Amino acid sequence: MPTLPFRKIRSLLTVLLGAAALAPALRAQDAKPAAEKPRFIYTLTVTDKLRVEIFQESDLTTISRVDASGNVNLPLIGDIHLAGLTVEQAQKAVASAYIDKRFLRHPEVTISIDEYAPREVTIAGQVRQPGRFELPLESTMSVVDLVTKAGGLTDTAKGSAVVVTHYDADGKKITVKVDVEGIIKGKKSARSSDNSLLLQPGDIVFVPESII
């Protein structure tokens, strides 16, 4: 039986040892979980109806709506701004307020949403089904999503200049132009920020008509 030359044997051993060393890394890579989709986190908004409770302080329990200024009026501490915060952030803010004003030392605050504020957006202009649409509570909606819900652009729509009007917490009017047509068609000219723009309750979307 012919024997292999020493060089070939050494090369074969090198390959086998390399494969053995690489195997654990490959198994670890295969075992990595798939990247999770970013979770939508709700933030409190005007007219949300909140229940604010403090452990072992039943007389401080409050049920109140977030007012037009984004505040909630609580016993002892008065108005506190909670609009724009997550529930967890709001709980920490309330606890800090009671501590800072020296009413409680270690308050355990629990905030729950008894009733959500109306979460509607409006779309008008050159879409097939203009009107009001409700935003989902546990997920987001982009301008393209809304246009799709409204039946899509009409044949005369200027989809490259869709206008989104938004009012911030201070009542300041903000307008943004979005190239919906470019996003739908996958044009290189479409900005990634247009696709990532998420609608907020009360936003108004207007699709202008193309002038030929």
CATH number at 77 reads: 3.30.1950.10
- Percent of the chain residues past pLDDT 90, beyond the cut: 52
CATH number at 191 reads: 3.10.560.10
183 shares a domain with 170: yes
172 shares a domain with 96: no
Quote the CA–CA distance of 85 and 89 in Å, as a whole number: 6
The total domain count for the chain is 2
Token reading at 108: 């355990």
What's the pTM value of the predicted model, to 2 decimals?
A: 0.59
Quote the CA–CA distance of 176 and 195 in Å, as a whole number: 12
Structural domain harbouring 200: 120-207
Q: Are 85 and 93 in contact (CB under 8 A)?
A: yes
For 120-168, write each residue's pLDDT tens digit.
899 999 999 999 999 887 678 889 999 999 999 999 999 999 999 988 7
Tokens 């943004």 belong to 176
Last residue of a domain, one of 65, 91, 115: 115
Sort residue 61 into left (φ over 0), alpha (ψ -120 to 50) or beta. Answer: beta
Last residue of a domain, one of 96, 115, 134: 115
CA angle 186, 189, 193 (to 5 degrees): 85
Instruction: Assess if residue 83 is contained within a domain.
Output: yes
Last residue of a domain, one of 89, 115, 141: 115
Q: Rounded to a whole number, what is the distance in angstroms from the first to the last CA of the chain?
A: 87
Q: Are 19 and 39 in contact (CB under 8 A)?
A: no
For 7-37, write each residue's pLDDT tens digit.
555 555 555 555 555 455 445 445 444 434 4
